[in-house]
């Protein structure tokens, strides 16, 4: 969360946040990187850290913070967590005020030439010189080179990747499946047959928290993972949409919305108004058989379940070809950067070095539920159980797509899932038409 916290208002606010970022970049680039610093000596003073909040990652960061303060008793870590919806605005205001030393950046990646004006806010910060260049920091050598390559801006590194999450899969209740003679589906036909069998027995197929909108976008990303199964497929679609060689009303694009609607229509009563945070407890209680969610929620599930509860995770099988459904899609999680305006850059760099130490990093992974961004770090039993689905890394659709800030809200994702019933009132075809109209208006 990704995103978990990657969809809905967080991405949608790029349209607004882009204007805020422009002012922020100008202010940060003018600041001195040495302001309030300790000159590269023993860390001391306040270390201001800001992250977008989730229960599991907050626990991981707090464990590292506690250990860091014991190692460096002269440092006072001031750790702030903000909801994903409020994070962009909070980040901008605190960067402008110059009271941040370490913070989460999102979407740090090179922008393709066809979408050069759609760079993410944090990529703009890096290019404007508002983020500290970490390229030559020794601790970066601990991280998987391919992940670092994916987040490079102009060949330079500006952030530490905290892990990898996969979020195009389905958690399922093993007991409910066994009691009803069901097997893990590997094709769309098998998947709908499972849903039909569950409904015939009076079992609600899916649990979904749609109150904040973005969780309902996870089935959209999951469907796109199957219908555009390789990164090349996704990149081709993104480029062809930007260059108007493809339309959001084309058959496969509409099918993404149809499959998303299918999950929404077969979710629990009141799903549109349900809190995302309530889903783990409902899933553990057997209120529904499956939930489309990210691996980041595995620690939360473990905290919510009874001893007898057993669950698994499989890729969303949106294609009729099982080979297209063989891998989970994911993203690099919660990249941590130091602004050049940091008043305590020494402590911030010391924290990143401390975090990157294998022993400390393993503690963070255990609590956060992320897959490792460092090679050779042991995985949890759960992550080992999905190893066949993650043996080859495939980025999710939202890691390839760049929103056009000139387009309307219906084309932000650009698969217009918020318009679908019960989140909205549109059919998949109507939602696609609205998205294409909004996209075309951008020119």
Domain with CATH 3.40.190.10 in the chain: 9-165+332-395, 169-327
Spatial contact of 24 and 125, defined as CB atoms under 8 Å apart: yes
Q: What per-residue confidence (pLDDT) applies to 2?
A: 35
Contact (Cβ atoms closer than 8 angstroms) between residue 373 and residue 332: yes
The pLDDT, as a whole number, for residue 163 is 94
Average pLDDT over residues 232-259: 97
Distance CA 203, CA 175 (A): 12
Mean pLDDT of the chain, nearest integer: 89
Q: Among 400, 413, 404, 399, which residue's Cα sits nearest to residue 161? A: 399
Determine the pLDDT at residue 40. 55
| Domain 169-327 listed as CATH 3.10.20.600 | no
What does the DSSP 8-state code read for residue 420?
A: B
* Residue 52: partners with Cβ closer than 8 Å, 6 or more residues away: 5, 81, 82, 83, 84, 87, 104, 106, 334
Q: What is the per-residue pLDDT for 307?
A: 57
Q: What is the pLDDT of residues 204-225, one digit of tens each?
A: 999 999 987 788 899 999 999 9
Architecture of domain 9-165+332-395: 3-Layer(aba) Sandwich (3.40)
């Amino acid at each position: 969360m990704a995103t978990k916290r990657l969809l809905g208002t967080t991405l949608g606010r790029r349209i607004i946040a882009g204007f805020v970022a422009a002012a922020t970049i100008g202010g940060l680039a003018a600041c001195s990187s040495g302001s309030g610093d300790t000159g590269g000596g023993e860390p001391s003073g306040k270390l201001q850290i800001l992250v977008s909040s989730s229960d599991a990652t907050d626990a991981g960061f707090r464990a590292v913070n506690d250990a860091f303060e014991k190692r460096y008793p002269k440092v006072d870590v001031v750790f702030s967590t903000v909801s994903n919806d409020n994070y962009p605005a909070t980040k901008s205001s605190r960067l402008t005020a110059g009271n941040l030393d370490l913070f989460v950046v999102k979407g740090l990646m090179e922008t393709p030439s066809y979408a050069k004006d759609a760079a993410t806010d944090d990529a703009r910060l890096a290019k404007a010189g508002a983020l500290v260049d970490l390229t030559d920091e020794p601790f970066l050598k601990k991280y998987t080179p391919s992940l670092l390559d994916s987040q490079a801006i102009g060949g330079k590194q500006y952030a530490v990747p905290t892990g990898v999450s996969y979020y195009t899969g389905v958690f399922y209740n093993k007991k409910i499946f066994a009691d009803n003679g069901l097997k893990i589906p590997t094709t769309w036909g098998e998947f709908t047959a499972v849903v039909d069998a569950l409904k015939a027995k009076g079992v609600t197929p899916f649990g979904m928290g749609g109150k904040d909108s973005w969780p309902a976008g996870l089935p959209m990303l999951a469907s796109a993972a199957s219908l555009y199964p390789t990164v090349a497929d996704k990149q081709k679609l993104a480029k062809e949409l930007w260059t108007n060689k493809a339309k959001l009303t084309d058959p496969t694009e509409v099918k993404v919305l149809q499959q998303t609607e299918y999950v929404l229509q077969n979710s629990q009563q009141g799903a549109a108004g349900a809190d995302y945070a309530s889903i783990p407890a409902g899933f553990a209680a057997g209120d529904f058989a499956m939930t489309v969610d990210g691996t980041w929620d595995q620690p939360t599930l473990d905290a919510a379940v009874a001893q007898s509860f057993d669950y698994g995770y499989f890729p969303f099988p949106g294609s009729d070809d099982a080979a297209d459904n063989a891998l989970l899609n994911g993203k690099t999680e919660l990249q941590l950067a130091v602004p050049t305006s940091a008043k305590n850059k020494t402590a911030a760099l010391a924290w990143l070095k401390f975090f990157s130490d294998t022993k400390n990093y393993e503690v963070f992974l255990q609590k956060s539920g992320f897959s490792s961004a460092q090679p050779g770090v042991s995985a949890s039993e759960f992550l080992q159980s999905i190893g066949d689905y993650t043996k080859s890394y495939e980025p999710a659709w939202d890691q390839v797509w760049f929103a056009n800030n000139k387009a309307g809200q219906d084309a932000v994702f650009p698969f217009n899932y918020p318009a679908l019933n019960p989140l909205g009132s549109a059919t998949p075809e109507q939602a696609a038409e609205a998205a294409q109209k909004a996209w075309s208006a951008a020119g």
